[in-house]
Amino acid sequence: MEFLLKDAYKTAVFGEVRRRDVYSIPIEPIREVIVDALVHASYAERGTPIRISFYDDRIQVDRLGLLLTGMTIDSIRHVSRLCNPALARIFREAGIMEQWGTGVQRVFAQVAEADLPEPVIEEVQDRVRVTIYVPSHDPAKVSEQASKSGADGGLPSERVESLSRSTKSLSRITKSSHQVSQT
């Protein structure tokens, strides 16, 4: 998450008792998509478990592995099946994941609330890709959109730091277990 925040514009909305920081990207839905990608990625396959791509008009999160048998792009908006239940439990106990089976619904609701185009979920070769379209990166337009929508684009820094630490730990665990399984 830190690299996304580093590359996003940040403005502030004034007029209330406290100033409210607003990013040029929808932080909470993107965080949710990244957590979902980590929990549902296939760690049994070779390759990068997740990829995050930051473009001018969208952010794409790819995770290794296709949908589980019986799941479709349409059904994942209403039904959830865990690919990695132990990892999901750890994420939930660490406060990174709120509740099983609600992430995709929450992403769509938060994106709609931010008045952005609906996210696109698709299977691409051996991966599932979620694309979230982002507003203009022009600071003047970011401020204008924040005033118009009133959406809270901020993410408490402790959640960002916690997610970052957990992702780094998961990466180390995955790499070490992957190296062990190759011998």
Fold of 2-175: Heat Shock Protein 90 (3.30.565)
pLDDT at residue number 103: 78
Cα 43–48–54 angle (5° rounding)?
Answer: 130
Tokens 């839905």 correspond to: 29
Helices vs. strands in the chain: H and E counts, helices first: 6, 6
pLDDT tens readout for residues 31-64: 899 999 998 888 888 877 899 998 888 999 999 9
Residue 120: band (very low, low, confident or very high) from pLDDT cuts 50, 70, 90: very high
pLDDT tens readout for residues 158-182: 443 434 444 444 444 444 444 443 4
Residue 143: band (very low, low, confident or very high) from pLDDT cuts 50, 70, 90: low
Could you give the residue ranges of the DSSP H alpha helices within the chain?
2-7, 27-40, 85-93, 103-113, 139-149, 157-182
Domain boundaries defined on the chain: 2-175
Q: What percent of the chain has pLDDT over 70?
A: 69
Query: Measured between alpha carbons, how far apart are the two ends of the chain, in Å?
Result: 33
